[in-house]
Chains A and B, each alone.
Chain A
């Protein structure tokens, strides 16, 4: 059965880059969101198994989304894909429950390793 996946990034290019980085063997139903508010609306209204989450976004940033996911006890895996690559930021998102921290522009091989590591493919 396909895994419901949400790609959240304010950049259309970045959303396309993530989508194209996913291996063909990954059976996913992909939804997209352009900011954190849109992402939370989707996460609160339907089951999402995995979120690819950008950090620097208008309206509500990725940190805000992670905090809300934690607070509401939403059941989903989160992989952060970020241009902000400071070690401090990586530590912060890990503490907030993100599975992994991937640098932009996303590297397909690294993404596959992470998806395998968590049994998603």
Chain B
């Protein structure tokens, strides 16, 4: 990431993401009626082809789910947000939320949580850069029976770059980890740099 963004640009992007994460955590906390311990998410920009390999280790030995949501904004801002969950975590959240444990409601729950986290996060990010986004309906790309790495490979294939946001939500009695990936086209980096420079110039 340091080779793509200057230190000032990286700091700026990190702060925008922190604020957006704060909004998403607040929403999640209200939804779950609990307190969410917020940590600074680690961010990294990588070539999307590297993504399946990077997540292989974390998700290959566990039941995992992948939820995808496309987004489109002004100034050529577009991409696909993917949230990866370990299902054992998701089940605990499902119980907290009062979902049944059958697989139909599991899908419903995953799309619900994703839309809280992803949409709130992306809206928070867009607000700060005076943009506004529209979204496609969330799609569950894979859960339990399918191979996460294959699903990632198919999705990542359509994009050049991925902004990895490593999210860890520690609830009071539970911990809930998920990874968010923002898959974006190659030319988006230039747009992002322009946006960051514009913000940096203001201060």
Contacts and interface: CB of A to CB of B under 8 A. Distances in A.
B14 A11 contact: yes
Interface in A8-45: 10-14, 16-17, 19-20
- Residue of B19, B21, B128 with most chain A CB atoms under a 10 A cut-off: B19
Interface in A54-75: 56-58
Nearest to A20: B203
A13 B15 contact: yes
How many chain B residues sit at the interface, stated as a range, is: 20 to 34
Interface stretch (B35-43, B71-79, B139-147): B35-43
A10 B26 CA distance: 21
A84 B22 contact: yes
Contacts of A85: 22-23, 26
A46 interface: no
A87 B149 CA distance: 38
Contact of B19 (A10, A12, A16, A104): A104
A86 B21 CA distance: 12
Contacts of B111: none
A15 to B, nearest CB: 9
Contacts of B8: 12-13
Interface string A86-121: 101100000000000000110000000000000000
Contacts of B26: 84-86
Given A12-B11, A58-B40, A86 B19 contact: no
A88 B38 CA distance: 12
Contact of B39 (A11, A56, A86, A105): A56
Contacts of A104: 18-19, 22
Closest 4 CB pairs of A and B: A83-B22, A16-B203, A11-B15, A13-B15
